[in-house]
Amino acid sequence: MIETLSKDDIKSWVLQNASDNTELDASELDHVATCLEHIYRWYHKGYPVGGFLTAVIRGNFSEICFRADSTNRKVLYLYALFLTNKLPSDYKEKIGLRVGTKPTTLLTLCQDILDLAEHGDYSCGNAANGLDEGQVSARRMLDNYRAILKEYW
């Protein structure tokens, strides 16, 4: 049976699962519940999600840390619990991350390119050997994306 969750159900779930040492005020609770609702709607209805939630769904720890706001930093563990307990186990397949084969959807690829253009690669910009580490990493990533895009042409 498919579980149907409302935003109020998700808020209740957050309150039940937040650890005793994590205090959320009403606006923070609403914010976290909204984010979790977006993940839920993404899975069940194809609702678009932004960079932070895409990183959460993909399980990309670095991106999650870079993109999390101050509220979400307090409750990152709730996202792991929610994905594990409230979404079917095939959720990674929906974003194109099958274990082992790792197919990339065109939409995911475009989102990654836009994110890279907007935020860079978060490198420290170490200027070793006259080349910025971030530029080298970004160039490598774009070359990788070009190779993947060729599959779609």
Angle 2-80-15 from CA coordinates, rounded to 5°: 80
Cβ neighbors of 102 (< 8 A, separation 6 or more) are 96
Going by pLDDT thresholds of 50, 70 and 90, the confidence category of residue 128 is: very low
Going by pLDDT thresholds of 50, 70 and 90, the confidence category of residue 129 is: very low
CA distance 34 to 106: 26
Looking at the chain, the whole-number percentage of residues with pLDDT higher than 70 is 63
Mean pLDDT of the chain: 76
Predicted confidence (pLDDT) per residue in 19-46, tens digit: 777 888 999 999 999 999 999 998 888 8
Of 1 and 113, more confident: 113
pTM: 0.62
Domain ranges, ordered by start, for the chain: 1-90, 104-153
Looking at the predicted structure, is the pLDDT value of residue 12 above 80? yes
**39, 34, 31: which is closest to 58 by C-alpha?**
39
Of 120 and 94, more confident: 94
Q: What pLDDT score does 18 carry?
A: 87
Cβ neighbors of 43 (< 8 A, separation 6 or more) are 87, 88, 91, 94
Predicted confidence (pLDDT) per residue in 71-95, tens digit: 999 999 999 999 999 998 888 777 7
Q: What pLDDT score does 93 carry?
A: 78
Going by pLDDT thresholds of 50, 70 and 90, the confidence category of residue 130 is: very low
